[in-house]
């Protein structure tokens, strides 16, 4: 759950759900909401998803050239693995399409994705040799992040590789990203996830803009 949104609503309403009106949501979060929910948590989930959608479908623009390790450099590195199937989680504008072999891009907010869907809702009858998570598993609480990682690992073939770019909690400069909760990735948590999901850490290093670049292999 997005704590920033939750705390803002609690502060403004003192927990009185009747005060969460369409006008309040529009004035506070710049989100249209014509639905009524039965709990603050449901409102938070809805507003959070709408904020992410508004930002990543209309405002955010990619720049793959700026990443030292987790951008265009990955094309040759992944193709050298001769992958049978590659999944790009949160593919954005699907920029690796046609550049990396046998790639499928999923993204809940971008029409350029092969499948406009979140990692938790995505279903596949096959497992993937390589999975990319480049700035996509990055939003919300630690529990949410862990759940998304669990699904990602489930979709990975034994011996397969996951390439990550992760935000250490640095907010974007654009004011439209104000209500997005960027999870604060760190090295101890990266190692903790490896131990939890039986992954081998192949690499951890700092990428451009303070991002963490790391690579897992499924044992």
Of the CA atoms within 13 Å of residue 176, those in its CB half-sphere come to 13
116 φψ region: left (φ > 0), alpha (ψ -120 to 50), beta (else): beta
Reported in sequence order, the residue ranges of 21-126 that DSSP labels E, i.e. its strands, are 86-89, 103-106
137: Cβ contacts below 8 Å, ≥ 6 apart: 89, 90, 119, 145, 148, 149, 152, 164, 166
Residues 153-175: what's their mean pLDDT?
96
Taking 3-state DSSP, the helix, strand and coil percentages for the chain, each rounded to the nearest 5, stand at 35, 20, 40
Instruction: Kindly report the number of other CB atoms within 10 A of residue 177's CB atom.
Output: 17
125 confidence band (pLDDT: 50, 70, 90): very high
6 confidence band (pLDDT: 50, 70, 90): very high
pLDDT one-digit tens code per residue, 23-35: 999 999 999 999 9
pTM of the model: 0.94
3-class secondary-structure state, position 69: coil
Task: Confirm if 189 and 175 have CB atoms less than 8 A apart.
Answer: no
pLDDT one-digit tens code per residue, 82-102: 999 999 999 999 999 999 999
């Amino acid at each position: 759950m997005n704590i920033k949104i939750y705390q803002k609503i609690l502060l403004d309403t003192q927990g009185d759900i009747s005060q969460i009106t369409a006008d309040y949501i529009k004035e506070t979060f710049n989100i249209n909401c014509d639905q009524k929910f039965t709990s603050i948590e449901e409102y938070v989930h809805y507003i959070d998803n709408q904020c992410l959608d508004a930002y990543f479908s209309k405002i955010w623009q990619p720049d793959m050239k700026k990443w030292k390790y987790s951008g265009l450099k990955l094309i040759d590195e992944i193709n050298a693995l001769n992958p049978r199937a590659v999944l790009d989680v949160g593919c954005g504008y699907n920029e690796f399409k046609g550049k990396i072999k046998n790639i499928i891009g999923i993204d809940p907010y971008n029409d350029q994705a092969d499948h406009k869907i979140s990692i938790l809702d995505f279903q596949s009858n096959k497992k993937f040799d390589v999975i990319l998570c480049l700035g996509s598993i990055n939003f919300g609480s630690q529990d949410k992040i862990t759940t998304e990682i669990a699904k990602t690992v489930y979709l990975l073939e034994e011996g397969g590789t996951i390439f990550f770019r992760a935000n250490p909690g640095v907010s974007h400069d654009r004011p439209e990203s104000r209500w997005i909760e960027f999870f604060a990735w760190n090295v101890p948590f990266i190692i903790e996830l490896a131990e939890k999901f039986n992954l081998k850490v192949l690499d951890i290093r700092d990428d451009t803009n303070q991002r963490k670049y790391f690579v897992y292999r499924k044992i």
